[in-house]
Amino acid sequence: MKIRIENKDRHGLVYDISKILLKYNVNIISMEVIKNTTYLETEALTYKDEQKILSELHKLSGIINITSIMIMPHNEKYQQMDIVFNTINEGIIITDKNGNIIYINKIAIKILKIPNDNILGQHISKALPFCKLLLKTLQTGKKYLHHEVYAEEYNNHYMVSSQPLLDENNNLSGGVAVIRDIETVRQIYQKITGQPSTSFKDIIHQSDIMEKLILSAQHYAGSNSTILIRGETGSGKELFARAIHNASPRRDNIFLAINCTAIPDTLLESELFGYEEGTFTGANKGGKLGLFELASGGTLFLDEIGDISSTLQAKLLRVLQEHRVRRIGGNREIPINVRIISATNCNLEQMVQDGLFRQDLYYRLNVIPLYLPPLRERKEDICLLATYLFQSTVNNINTRIKSISPEALEKLTHYDYPGNVRELSNIIERAINVAQGSQITADDIILFNQMQNNTSLNNLNDHSTFNLNEALRRTEKNIIQQAMKKFTSSRKLGAALGLSHTSVIRKMKEYDLSFNKNNN
């Protein structure tokens, strides 16, 4: 029997109700008292006994009305909570203050890969020994956010946050853990970072050489094999990598790109492989997810791969061979499913011969080679690219410029572009700023042609021209030579210049520099 008793507020009502039930030897399962309302649940009764009890209850002082109900309020609240918790994408585990599990939703059971859900009432350390974070909350009364957990028992990977539950007196009454599957974390990251959706249609071209290259790349997209994209700086290597990813079966998963030259070796290693909690001073609590793990199911683009150190080369080779990654400071290997696309403008074959790049890693990376031609080898694309770059840039800079003159386009086609498409974009943006009329003229196109012996940087304002690539090379060589006077080893030199050890050796060889020569 389940009933709701509407009553006036008076002392002794619960006692009087209990006396009637005791008279008929009826067991009370639960009773809930809210102001002016009493809810009662008893064991199952015969119709005759139920009518007798109801008749006596009606005679009690202060009783206004008695109605039958289907469910007790606490059960109704539990059902409502259960419905809500089972419609969200996060797993929910709730314990009492002693660590006994009082609630777990279906998503948590799925994420944690629990063999069965018959764990209510069990202590969390016994039922879920890998949920140590919630135990820590119960012990300290503190909340912990976004800790990564790997449950070796089930080969399971998830993110968990936990926080205490407090009663009306601010005393600890239990704890709740919110669990997210690592795949959900990746999807959140992808949405937050706004991964650009690049397709092969976004690669502006009309040349036959680019058309053939795109057809080949579209074919390669269906594979899981590693791709090595070769090409000069500014030729669009990352653009091709993104297009390959978005044409592949991995298109719905994450694409991550990292420039191996832009990050020092020690930091690059932690970015790629992640680390465990407490590995070094300043490490994030709970450790850190590496890019290999974060990109699992998707694609990881390693730009400037030729500049990584020999130590990282060995670790990368291991990942490519075994499809498993070990974090810095960790002792477990985490399986990953990631496609590697790498890119470089280095001569890797020469670096292998010089002992600067591992031959075994070279073969692992160069399964599918893709060579991007420089812009000077596809001059028929220059006008099309220039027009496209003009249209995509002009509205953000100078809306009164309406077009590029035929003479300006003609001038653009007779330049070699050592900086490739990136340099063309730079030239177009400069022309938009320089132009005085409503059209970009040939005079507004400032090119960097062959440097004259007496040319200085100050002559740029007079539209003098010089070869930017050669100027940069000379400046780089001079900086390295000056640094070599102070630092007497390639490792110290690399640390001072912010370059990897292998990059320093390669550049010294390129410029025919050595410490002995420099000291003479």
Nearest to 37 by CA among 57, 55, 63: 63
- Kindly tell me the burial class for residue 73, based on how many C-beta atoms sit within 10 Å of its own C-beta (0-12, 13-18, 19 or more): middle
Query: What pLDDT does 318 receive?
Result: 93
Measured CA to CA, the distance from residue 293 to residue 157 in angstroms comes to 10
Could you report the per-residue pLDDT of 51-92, keeping only the tens digit for each?
A: 888 988 888 888 889 888 877 777 766 666 667 677 777 888
- Based on its alpha-carbon atoms, the radius of gyration of the chain, rounded to whole angstroms, reads 35
Do 257 and 298 contact (CB within 8 A), yes or no? no
| For residues 149-172, average pLDDT | 80
Residue 169, SS3?
Answer: coil
For the cut 60, the answer to whether the pLDDT of residue 344 exceeds it is: yes
Query: What pLDDT does 385 receive?
Result: 95
Higher pLDDT, 486 or 257: 257
Do 6 and 65 contact (CB within 8 A), yes or no? yes
User: For 286-371, where are the alpha helices, taking DSSP H only?
Assistant: 291-294, 310-322, 348-353, 359-365
Query: What pLDDT does 378 receive?
Result: 94
Reported confidence tier of residue 227, pLDDT bands at 50, 70, 90: very high
Q: Which residues contact residue 316 at a Cβ distance below 8 angstroms, ignoring those fewer than 6 apart?
A: 272, 302, 308, 361
Query: What pLDDT does 451 receive?
Result: 32
Measured CA to CA, the distance from residue 19 to residue 26 in angstroms comes to 10
Nearest to 273 by CA among 261, 262, 284, 287: 287
Give the type of residue at 76. Answer: E
Q: What is the mean pLDDT of the chain?
A: 84
Could you report the per-residue pLDDT of 323-340, keeping only the tens digit for each?
A: 999 888 888 888 889 999
Helix 501-510 to helix 468-484 angle (10° resolution) is: 110
Could you report the per-residue pLDDT of 233-250, keeping only the tens digit for each?
A: 889 999 999 999 999 999
Query: What pLDDT does 100 receive?
Result: 92
Measured CA to CA, the distance from residue 357 to residue 349 in angstroms comes to 8
Measured CA to CA, the distance from residue 252 to residue 245 in angstroms comes to 9
Do 166 and 172 contact (CB within 8 A), yes or no? yes
User: Per the confidence metrics, is the pTM higher than 0.75?
Assistant: no
Enter the tokens of residue 322.
């075994």
Could you report the per-residue pLDDT of 456-471, keeping only the tens digit for each?
A: 444 444 444 445 666 7
